[in-house]
Amino acid sequence: MRTPNIREDESTPAVLADTPSVPSAPSAVWAWTGAVAGLAGVVGIQASMAMGAAYDENNAGNAVAITAAFAEQRTAMLVMHLSLTISTLLLLIFAAGLYRRLQAGLPEFSLLPTVAAFGLVLTSTGTLLGTGLDTELLFGLSDTDKMVPEVAVFASHWMGTIPWLWVGAGLSGLAVAVAALRHRAVPRWLGWTSLVLGGLTTLLGVSPLQYMAGFVGPVWVLLAGIGFALSERVKR
């Protein structure tokens, strides 16, 4: 009986081994975004300090004088608007990246990533509201005769308070501190930095001196962004 010729390449199916793809190290763009958000926040707070018409003792109780002084501070208002609006948007990107970064290094079901992200989202909401009257005032103050002085007085107080509500960033800082010092999910130096600046921001925000949180909160965001960016670079 004749044995049929069997080609070796037809008798056994070729097995193609899938080469596993090596995941690339996570990008540090989100962290640098946080650094820029913090820097923009610092600039915005400084610009807000330059608009002190309602706090000038020489204008105390004089709505017309406050309006006239406020009208001369529109350049600082424009700087505050641009910087804090940039910070508002970039804080959301930083929040998303921070959530992912902490989630990767913490136990499953940990609340810390969510708390850290929500604190930044809350801060972003505050900076958005802080710039909410800018369009009205940038154009309205160009002709003070058409603006009710009391409106300008209220707006001057608004810009001296609402943009300073950075207490949410303090909560984010504390969450990062716990992730670093208890779970070692973050470099310890960044944990200690977050504990000091985040704790101070939170304490000021809870206290009657709540607007002082605007001095510290943006600085923590700036340093945290740089710190995470450098740590991601070391990983890569």
pLDDT tens-place string over residues 197-224? 999 999 999 999 999 999 999 999 999 9
Q: CA-CA distance, 162 to 197, in Å (whole number)? A: 20
Q: Return the CA Rg of the chain.
A: 26
Tens of pLDDT, residue by residue over 59-106, are 888 999 999 999 999 999 999 999 999 999 999 999 999 999 999 999
Do residues 77 and 47 lie in contact, with contact meaning Cβ atoms separated by under 8 Å? yes
Domain assignment present for 2: no
- Rounded to the nearest 10°, the torsion over CA 156, 160, 46, 40 is -100
pLDDT band at 41 (very low <50, low <70, confident <90, very high): very high
For residue 134, what are the domain limits?
28-235
Environment class of 209 (CB within 10 Å of its CB; exposed 0-12, middle 13-18, buried 19+) = exposed
Residue 122 maps to a domain: yes
CB atoms within 10 A of CB 139: 10
What pLDDT, in 10s, does the model give residues 107-118? Answer: 999 999 999 999
Instruction: Quick: pLDDT tens for 64-73.
Output: 999 999 999 9
pLDDT of 191: 97
**Residue at 134: amino acid letter:** D
Residue 15 has pLDDT above 50, yes or no: no
Q: Greatest CA separation found in the chain? A: 118
CA distance 25 to 235: 7
User: Is residue 125, in this structure, part of any structural domain at all?
Assistant: yes
133 inside domain:
yes
Query: Total structural domains in the chain?
Result: 1
Residue 19 has pLDDT above 90, yes or no: no
Q: What is the pLDDT of residue 232?
A: 79
- Position 34 in a domain: yes
pTM above 0.85, yes or no: yes
CA distance 177 to 100: 16
Mean of per-residue pLDDT scores for the chain: 90
Residue 9 falls within a domain, yes or no? no
Q: What are the tokens at 65?
A: 């004088």
- Report the C-alpha gap between 31 and 141 in whole angstroms: 38
Stretch (H or E) spanning 42: helix 29-49
The percentage of the chain sitting over the pLDDT mark of 70, rounded to a whole number, equals 88
CA 32 to chain centre: 11
Question: According to the model, what pLDDT value does residue 233 have?
Answer: 75
Distance between the two ends of the chain, CA-based, in angstroms? 66
Tell me what pLDDT residue 5 has: 53
User: Residue 193 in contact with residue 227, Cβ under 8 Å?
Assistant: yes
pLDDT value of position 6:
46
